[in-house]
Chain A
Amino acid sequence: MCGIGALFAYKDGAPPVRREELEAINERMRPRGPDAGGTWISDDGRVGLAARRLAIIDLSPEGDQPLTDTSGDLVIVFNGEIYNHRELRARLARGGARFHSSSDTEVLLQLYRAHGAEMVELLRGMFAFCIWDRRTERMFVARDPYGIKPLYIADDGQTVRIASTVKALLAGGGVSRTSDPAGVAGFFLTGSVPEPFTTFQSIRAVEAGTAFFIDASGPGRARHHYSIANVFRRGCAQHAFVALVPPETQLREFVSESLTYHLVSDVPVGAFLSAGIDSTGLVALTNQVSRGGPLRTVTLSFDVFRGHESDESSTAERFAREMHSKHTTRIVTRDEFQSDLPRFFDAMDQPTIDGVNTWFVSKATAELGLKVAISGIGGDELFGSYPSFTALPRIVRSMAIARKFPAGMPTARAALTAMSRAGFAGPKAPAVARYGETWGGAYLVKRGLYMPSELPEVMGRDAAEEGLERLAMFDRAERMLEPDPMSDFGRVATLEAAFYMRNQLLRDTDWASMAHSLEVRTPLVDAWLLRQLAPLLTNEGSASKQYFADSPRPPLPSYVRNRPKTGFVVPLIDWAQLPPDGTGTRMRSWAKRVLESFG
């Protein structure tokens, strides 16, 4: 886990890279990697690499970055963890490779040497990295399938700049700060900035699950090395395997395997524990696969909710006792929230309406001296437990029926609008009628913070029109479903992974944990796990969650499984003194506050 940066003056005549810029980029990422930092600039001054390091695998200086291979041909900066690095090392060693450290970074170099760009397909983990290949004078850039680790790129036509965070690129001083209305519109529509946009025109996210080369003509076409839609599509064709083994056994084996990989570390690993099935299931399975001592678990509690049904701490404490874990309940007060708020906004890399809970639970975990924690995030997307998994098929089917009748759609729109005005349907009902014909449209309405028609009022007419046009959000959502995942479950899961999970959940988890120098690992957000479970998930649908609850031995207790799903509630309305905004959560007010913090 680290922060990385790269500069490549690829065009003939481009000014050489500046060490000061490289160091400024690196310095902005210091909290991501407090243990070491380094820069490397090629002899001809055209390429610079920088890295901050949080040492978790191979704690020795041998694992420091940028790392050069013994031939001097390859230099790498790498952010993330390769959980199967030991297997890959053994496989490469059988083929004659020689290693000089036990770090996963060196495995990446050797794997690149053996397989070139295809090497990314063998990686199990979270990663964003750049490899400078002196032999071909190309830079290879790759990002993990789900986009757990961030990576941003700015190309001014002469020089490419890359960093783990938008703010680091800006700190380097080499990129323009012109605002991008598409990024801002995306933020208001969804509560987070959708990839590949950022709130700056000059900076783009390297898309999750892609890899590409940069050569003398600039960044090449990105190749998708993993497609969630395709994994679900293939899963539908592999139902024969589902019949061989009971669902709970498959879940136990595959999730335990994922956990075993995610526990690979040379420092102790803790776990976030809520009262939900995902985190309790992971803690129970960790107890069964871990060879270490008792697990350290952390639960967050807000003092104003103590004793309230949305407070998860008492259930989590009871479960932790039964699991014999060393448990901490960390109570957060209004004073602490308000005093942390400036640092919270400073650490937030791109605007988002989420991240408060991850900020505090990461802070609490880091206070215990831990550098790594397991989190159950991604479980709702994996097991289909969001309301969207039932609502979206209903919306799309209803709209399809309306379409079959002459004047069906206008009638449906008029009826839903009238019902919404009369209070018989929610405020999103008219938008459902307008956009709900497609899966992507229905998803964006269901998950939307603002509707497109509301944006001119929020961000000005011109900016809203330009932003919406360039964002092309509904087309973008439809493109995520290519190839067709072939099942309702697969379609919704693909959209959840491509939007909410990628742009909000995982991104927020990254910056909010990295601000406390904590690495959060996500065993339920694992490309290999999804590939293994896709046949089961498409076969069983949302029942998978209960099978997951059955998967530990003994199964999860009834007080966990039967607890009403409350979600993790943050007392933002009161603590941030949010004005009414027509919604119960006042998230629209919070969104405006967030954007103000970005100037």
Chain B
Amino acid sequence: MRILLLTTDIYGGYGGIALYNRDFAAALTEHPDCEELVVVPRLLPNPPGEIPPKVRFVAEAARNNVAYFRAVRALRRERFDLVFCGHVNLLPVARMMSDRPTLLVYGIEAWKPPRDRLRNRLARNAGAVISISDITLSRFVSWSSFGGRTFVLPNAIHLDEYAIGPRDPNLVTRYGLAGKRVLLTVGRIVAAERYKGFDEVIEVLPDLPKDVVYLIAGGGNDLPRLRRKVDDLGLFDRVIFTGLFPEAEKPALYNLADVYVMPSRGEGFGFVLLEAMACGVPAIGSRHDGSREALRGGQLGTLVDPASAADLRLAITELLARREKRIPAGLDYFSFDNFRARVHAIVNELRR
């Protein structure tokens, strides 16, 4: 079986979607019938690192749109049993390779219809749709009227890469966290995507005990606005911005936290919640986006209404009072083994 994966970013990419795509690719190559997986990335922000066996990585496609088009056109001479398309915007290119490609949808990119009719029609006529969450699938189906086969494939968490651990003294010193209880959110701070809930957490901070501080881990162009807001509220000593941080520091960052909190509105899934829980940090997520599914409807963590400051404040208070770090029993639902089994079941179904 030869598989083509057209995608935005994967190897060398940042963030949850790139990670999801890497896991998806890994699971595909581990299918017993897989001979080769050709991966065509549209973005390559960093060197791709080591490419796994069975994967042919067409890195030159990432240069620009024309290069991408040429790279895919060059593949038309080859035969593929399955074609996956990792973004609605890539559907016109995917159509060169298959009449009915399988579309992968993640989050806000699939929550409302694209502006042009072509992509709209191609989305409706996809061969199948794999969604990272029920909510993304439901929102995608709502505008596209897609009636074909659908699958929900939530993120995987590599549990062996995370663990409950002591606070790293260097990080405690760097961020001034000695004697403090720490709320943490990890994510991009982007002006166009003000949906992570940073503002909401900052706004409840004055009503929390003085030893509670808020660590915002991530970079982005909305950082200056958030800093101004923090200053205006007189919270400069209670909100700490890490800026961009090395990926390798991530588990240590989670282990600084007493509560992970993300009252978001725009998460396709909310992978960071899994990471926090894999470090034993109790998690608060939104009931109105994919976070609900990452917390398995409230079984793994606390769901809050992001529009309710009181709901958020009391949820934080409850979890701070518990002073308990443990990895929730149901977190292995998202283990890579389960992810791989789901991918293989989807592949078998698509080949039928």
Contacts and interface: CB of A to CB of B under 8 A. Distances in A.
A253 B136 CA distance: 12
Contacts of A246: 111-113, 142-143
Interface string B116-156: 00000000000000000000001100110000000000000
B298 A90 contact: yes
A238 interface: yes
A118 B111 contact: no
Given A91-B318, A114-B318, A245-B111, A122 B143 contact: no
B215 to A, nearest CB: 23
B266 interface: yes
Contacts of A413: none
B113 A122 contact: no
B298 A121 contact: no
B139 A249 contact: yes
A244 B108 contact: yes
Contact of A252 (B142, B195, B298, B310): B142
A528 B139 contact: no
Contacts of B111: 244-246, 249
B142 A121 contact: no
B311 A241 contact: no
B194 interface: yes
A461 interface: no
B7 interface: no
Contacts of A114: 318
Given A95-B318, A249-B139, A121 B310 contact: yes
A121 B308 contact: yes
B17 to A, nearest CB: 16
Contacts of B266: 241, 244
B248 to A, nearest CB: 32
Interface in A222-241: 225, 234, 238, 240-241
B307 interface: yes
Contact of B195 (A90, A122, A244): A244
B81 to A, nearest CB: 34
Contacts of A244: 108, 111-112, 195, 265-266
Interface in B283-303: 288, 298, 302-303
Nearest to B302: A91
A457 interface: no
Contacts, number: 63
Contact of B307 (A118, A240, A249, A531): A531
B305 A531 contact: yes
Contacts of B75: none
Interface string B293-336: 00000100011010110110010011001100000000000000
A87 interface: yes
B112 A531 contact: no
A329 interface: no
Given A91-B318, A244-B266, A249-B139, A528 B298 contact: no
Given A244-B108, A249-B143, A252-B142, A238 B307 contact: yes
B308 A528 contact: yes
Contacts of B195: 240-241, 244
A528 B304 CA distance: 11
A70 to B, nearest CB: 21
A177 interface: no
A315 interface: no
A234 B307 contact: yes
A115 interface: yes
A245 B140 CA distance: 10
A532 B263 CA distance: 13
Contacts of B265: 241, 244
A281 to B, nearest CB: 16
Nearest to B139: A249
B318 to A, nearest CB: 6
> For the side of the interface on B, what is the size category?
20 to 34
Interface in A276-319: none
Contacts of B308: 121, 528, 531
Nearest to A96: B322
B318 A122 contact: no
A244 B318 CA distance: 31
Nearest to A551: B142
Contacts of A532: 288, 305, 307
B311 A121 contact: yes
A117 to B, nearest CB: 11
Nearest to B315: A91
Contacts of A95: 318, 321-322
B314 A115 contact: yes
Contacts of A238: 307
Interface in B175-209: 194-195
Contacts of B194: 240
A123 to B, nearest CB: 10
B260 to A, nearest CB: 16
B298 A245 contact: no
A252 B194 CA distance: 23
Interface string A526-542: 00100110100000000
B289 to A, nearest CB: 9
Interface string A551-590: 0010000000000000000000000000000000000000
- The winner among A94, A114, A118, A234 for most chain B CB atoms within 10 A is A94
A118 B314 contact: yes
Contacts of B139: 245, 249
Nearest to A120: B310
A296 to B, nearest CB: 28
- The winner among A225, A238, A248, A553 for most chain B CB atoms within 10 A is A238
B323 to A, nearest CB: 11
A95 B288 CA distance: 23
Contacts of A531: 305, 307-308
Contacts of A118: 310, 314
B194 to A, nearest CB: 5
A154 to B, nearest CB: 30
B112 A245 contact: yes
A591 B302 CA distance: 51
Contact of B314 (A87, A94, A122, A245): A122
A271 B183 CA distance: 44
Interface in A105-124: 114-115, 118, 121-122
Interface string B91-110: 00000000000000000100
A241 to B, nearest CB: 5
Contacts of B311: 121-122
Nearest to A115: B314
A120 to B, nearest CB: 9
B66 to A, nearest CB: 30
A249 B298 CA distance: 23
A122 B108 CA distance: 29
A553 B317 CA distance: 40
Contact of A249 (B142, B314, B322): B142
Contacts of B321: 95
B288 to A, nearest CB: 7
A234 B306 CA distance: 12
Nearest to A240: B194
Given A244-B108, A244-B266, A246-B143, A121 B314 contact: yes
B46 to A, nearest CB: 28
A244 B265 CA distance: 9
B241 to A, nearest CB: 20
Contacts of A90: 298
B142 A122 contact: no
23 contacts: A87-B303, A91-B298, A95-B318, A114-B318, A115-B314, A118-B310, A118-B314, A121-B308, A121-B314, A122-B311, A122-B314, A240-B195, A241-B195, A244-B108, A244-B111, A244-B112, A244-B265, A244-B266, A245-B112, A246-B143, A249-B142, A249-B143, A253-B138
Given A121-B311, A532-B305, 7 more contacts: A87-B303, A95-B322, A114-B318, A122-B311, A225-B310, A246-B113, A249-B143
Closest 6 CB pairs of A and B: A121-B310, A531-B307, A241-B265, A249-B142, A240-B194, A246-B112
